[in-house]
Amino acid sequence: MRRLAPVAVTGAGCLCSAGHTLDACMDALFAGRRRCGPPTTFAVESPRPHPVFEVADGFWRPERFPLETASRTVQLTLTAAREALADAGVGAPVLEARRVGVCIGTNVAGAVGGRHPETAGPGDDIPYVTAADRFAAVNPTAALVRNHRLRGPIQTVVTACSAGGDAIGLGAAWIRAGLCDLVIAGGADELYERAYTGFISLMNYDDAPCRPFDARRKGLNLGEGAGILILESDEMRKDRGKAARGVILGYGAAGDAYHLTRPDPEGRGLARSVREALDASGLSPADLAFINAHGTGTPDNDRIESRLFHETFPGIPFCSTKGYTGHTLGAAGAVEAAFTLACLERGRLPASMGYGEPDPDLPAIPTDRNTPVTGRFALSQTLAFGGNNAALILGLPGEAEEPAP
Amino acid sequence: MRATVAGIGLVGGFGAGPDDLARAMAQGPPPPSTVVLRTTAGEIEVPGRLADTALLADFADQRALRRLDHHTRMALLSCLLSLSDAGCGLRPPEETGIVLATGYGATCNTFDVQGLCVDADIRTFSPTQFSNSVHNAPAAHISDFLKIRGPNLTVNHFDLSVPAAAATARLWLAEGRTDRVLVVAVDTFSKLAAFHRHRTLIRQKMPEGPAAPAPIGEGAVCFLLTGGGAGSRALVEISAAVSGNAAAPAPGTESTVYILGADGLSSGESKYRDWVPPGAPAVVYTDLYGNLPIGTAFDAAAALVTLKEGKLFPSAGGGRCPHPPVQAEEPLAGRTLQCVKVGAAGGHGTVTVAPPRSSGAN
């Protein structure tokens, strides 16, 4: 993988159970607060429901958006994008005048969510909504295009848990290739019963709040949310005199070719994706200030990541933020990219919520308290169902990302 | 960003492989299958262009395939046929990438399970069923079967998934992320779409026949893309673009033939009339493979067949061409082909197929 030009990040937006904005999320992370409990957005028959991380009510403000929608995934997406665009100082005139692409990662975009507006339950009359209509109603990419009247390239990435990271990596490639001036890139997913039931049936869902990297960990908890980064060409950014907030320096993607639901125990796909991201960024492991791990709390995932960190990144601090957010599936890579950028800006890493007891099988352990970090660069990685691995190298801007005088 | 097709594999209602597609283009497709739908109002029979994956037995024993559902089997078969067509064998280089495009998703459950399957209870789904319902399951199975560990992406932007996937594959090649990419497109027969087509015919008092919308189809297409370096096999060159905007796609040239993804059912098809220059040659081939979101992949395959045969086959889409369609075989005479798809949920996509340039020129 050859070295690639960095791509500027001029805005970031995020919401999840930790908060309705990126700053609110970061406040919760550094305060050690987490909010999880039994599902309330769908009915659960079990007497001991497993915990989930739901976005608190009140985030959706329909009066702020031209597009009407009852899809929770779309609402999450539009809300995070609104924050990110405002952060980037990009309004409607710019969006409508420039080539603006949209690349969003999601699981199934809420298409099987029980709260889809036209969903018919068992025993109901046959619904008369076409597949195209349903797609248009719930697809977050299509919603952003319609809401902002955009005219650049579009893509919806559905690589499960790495979709958000993959979408950001792909969006950066569009900027480098000159396909558009700006990309709204990220990921979004709502909680839905099918995923909740499915992960429990696979027996990798913890019935207690998740404990990434902890010796007592039993699995993941699901969450929901959206993370959006605004990626912008240098030409457009300098045109409007906007400094970058951050940069995407590298992206790597690789498959495990091992199993549909279990990661390669040797972590070869993960190692390859990380190496590719580093090669593209021109950085070495020692250049990193920290790593935002995937850290789901499943025995296999955490073991594989810990071994990689020990072998390739000795001494580099890492944390899992899923103890604060749950596993937000298609949103995870993007939510955590936003967190990574915010942690670089603050020069500190939160404690890995849920971690307390070291596992003797894990050679590297995460932060157990808020930890100062120094440096301009960090890695954020995600491992997905199906053996997908995505690695992003993010950085704080250097001189090249300052606007022209 | 040069990308060439080194091999192609496909399976659909017309058969399997480019020769079966060429035969259907020349002689018309075989009669559609009959599918029985169970609805709350009773059983109905609808036509369908269904794919048969029996050829997989030539590549793998049943044990290796036992956990693969029909959706993944179609995708895998198309990959294996494309690798065979390219002379690669069944062990492509480990760095090979995969971009998989789908419109309905992994098991078609995304749109069906809360539709016609009135007694479906998601709480009784097995772990295997759940795992196979994740959209990137087929790409995962393919990478595991072939032991390829390059970049792996699954794209679902409904009926614009194919141009999106092709555009991504070209980017990967241009960035040097990989030297070859399997671009796979797959969709399974949708009972919900078949039901809607059935209701549309009733509502419009239209009988089955040449004037009716294309029957619902299923199938898979795989293109093995490379960067077209010297010495590599190049069947055709391919480029793609996709946009969420309703404005017309970039027009072709005077030597462009348009292959339109008009199925007679999707919304927005009147745009084809505005987008195809008056007098420009246009064809519709949806009746050969059926109505399915990844139809553009079959159109691109038809374009490849056209280039290989050196002749343009007559349109097979009933009256769905906005201008008088090509109605008889004619020499292609060096023209390029642009496959155009109006996105039913907005936007458009194009895949352009052209003869390969001489080697060395990138």
CB–CB contact A255 B121 (8 Å):
no
Amino acid occupying residue A211: R
Select which of A161, A180, A210, A343 is catalytic: A161
Between residues 224 and 253 of chain A, which touch chain B (CB distance below 8 Å)?
253
Count of C-beta atoms within a 10 Å radius of residue A216: 13
Is residue B190 within 8 angstroms of chain A, CB to CB? yes
pLDDT higher at B116 or A6:
A6
DSSP structural state of residue A225 = E
Contacts of A163 (CB under 8 A, 6+ apart): A105, A106, A107, A157, A187, A329, A330, A333, A384
Size of interface A-B (CB pairs under 8 A): 231
Residues of B in contact with A122 (CB under 8 A): 118-121
CB–CB contact B155 A155 (8 Å):
yes
Q: How far is A97 from chain B (nearest CA, A)?
A: 13
Is residue A220 within 8 angstroms of chain B, CB to CB? no
CB–CB contact A257 B111 (8 Å):
no
pLDDT tens digits, one per residue of B181-228: 999 999 999 888 898 899 899 999 999 988 899 999 999 999 999 997
Between residues 128 and 157 of chain B, which touch chain A (CB distance below 8 Å)?
130-137, 139-141, 143-144, 146-157
CB–CB contact A145 B177 (8 Å):
no
Mean pLDDT of the region A42-47 = 79
For residues B170 and A364, give the distance between their C-alpha atoms in angstroms, rounded to a whole number: 38
Looking at the partner chain, which of B137, B167, B176 has a beta carbon nearest the beta carbon of A386?
B137
Residues of A in contact with B126 (CB under 8 A): 201
pLDDT of B170: 95
Residues of B in contact with A132 (CB under 8 A): 158-159, 266-267, 344-345
pLDDT tens digits, one per residue of A266-293: 999 999 999 999 999 999 999 999 999 9
Tell me if A402 sits within 8 A of A234, measured CB to CB.
no
Residues of B in contact with A153 (CB under 8 A): 164, 167, 241-244
Question: For residue B164, what is the nearest residue in chain A, using CA coordinates?
Answer: A155
Q: How far is B131 from chain A (nearest CA, A)?
A: 7
Between residues 358 and 377 of chain A, which touch chain B (CB distance below 8 Å)?
none
Is residue A175 within 8 angstroms of chain B, CB to CB? no
pLDDT of B109: 52
Residues of A in contact with B1 (CB under 8 A): 177
For residues A73 and B110, give the distance between their C-alpha atoms in angstroms, rounded to a whole number: 15
Residue A305 pLDDT class (50, 70, 90 cuts): very high
For residues B311 and B329, give the distance between their C-alpha atoms in angstroms, rounded to a whole number: 7
pLDDT higher at A127 or A162:
A162
Please name the residue that has the structure tokens 């849920």: A354
pLDDT of B224: 97
The mean predicted confidence, pLDDT, of chain A is 92
Between residues 59 and 88 of chain A, which touch chain B (CB distance below 8 Å)?
none
The phi and psi torsions of B340 (rounded to 5 degrees) equal -120, 135
Residue A259 is among the residues annotated as catalytic for this protein: no
CB–CB contact B177 A261 (8 Å):
no
Of A246, A251, A275, A242, nearest to A344 by C-alpha is A246
CB–CB contact B144 A258 (8 Å):
yes
Residues of A in contact with B116 (CB under 8 A): 126
For residues B224 and B85, give the distance between their C-alpha atoms in angstroms, rounded to a whole number: 9
Residue A310 is among the residues annotated as catalytic for this protein: no
To 5 degrees, how large is the angle CA B133–CA B138–CA B141?
115
Q: Which residue, among B2, B39, B111, would best test binding to A if mutated, counting the most A CBs under 10 Å from its CB?
A: B111
Select which of A148, A294, A319, A343 is catalytic: A294
Of B5, B3, B20, nearest to B300 by C-alpha is B5
Is residue A385 within 8 angstroms of chain B, CB to CB? yes
Residues of A in contact with B140 (CB under 8 A): 255, 260, 385-388
Looking at the partner chain, which of B41, B115, B155 has a beta carbon nearest the beta carbon of A157?
B155
Q: How far is A153 from chain B (nearest CA, A)?
A: 4
The phi and psi torsions of B330 (rounded to 5 degrees) equal -150, 155
Percent of chain B residues past pLDDT 90, beyond the cut = 59
Looking at the partner chain, which of A2, A128, A142 has a beta carbon nearest the beta carbon of B345?
A142
Residues of chain B with pLDDT under 70: 1, 107-125, 229-232, 246, 318, 358-362
For residues B266 and A350, give the distance between their C-alpha atoms in angstroms, rounded to a whole number: 50
Looking at the partner chain, which of B103, B119, B347 has a beta carbon nearest the beta carbon of A145?
B347
pLDDT tens digits, one per residue of A169-193: 999 999 999 999 999 999 999 998 8
Residues of B in contact with A145 (CB under 8 A): 244-245, 346-347
Between residues 300 and 339 of chain B, which touch chain A (CB distance below 8 Å)?
none
CB–CB contact A155 B158 (8 Å):
no
Question: For residue B147, what is the nearest residue in chain A, using CA coordinates?
Answer: A257
pLDDT tens digits, one per residue of A80-109: 999 999 999 999 999 999 999 999 999 876
CB–CB contact A202 B159 (8 Å):
no
Residue A294 is among the residues annotated as catalytic for this protein: yes
Is residue A39 within 8 angstroms of chain B, CB to CB? no
pLDDT of A128: 62
pLDDT of B346: 87
Distance of CA A325 to the CA centre of its chain: 11
Contacts of B22 (CB under 8 A, 6+ apart): B305, B308, B309
Is residue A173 within 8 angstroms of chain B, CB to CB? yes
Q: How far is A394 from chain B (nearest CA, A)?
A: 19
Of B295, B340, B284, B330, nearest to B309 by C-alpha is B330
Give the length of chain B. 362
Is residue A43 within 8 angstroms of chain B, CB to CB? no
Give the length of chain A. 405
Contacts of B268 (CB under 8 A, 6+ apart): B342, B343, B344, B346
pLDDT tens digits, one per residue of A114-143: 433 344 444 444 456 788 888 888 899 999
Please name the residue that has the structure tokens 């993010």: A394
Looking at the partner chain, which of A112, A136, A177 has a beta carbon nearest the beta carbon of B114?
A112
pLDDT tens digits, one per residue of A59-68: 999 999 998 9
For residues B43 and A158, give the distance between their C-alpha atoms in angstroms, rounded to a whole number: 34
Residues of A in contact with B193 (CB under 8 A): 130-131
Looking at the partner chain, which of A2, A150, A155 has a beta carbon nearest the beta carbon of B157?
A155
The phi and psi torsions of A272 (rounded to 5 degrees) equal -65, -45
pLDDT of A121: 46
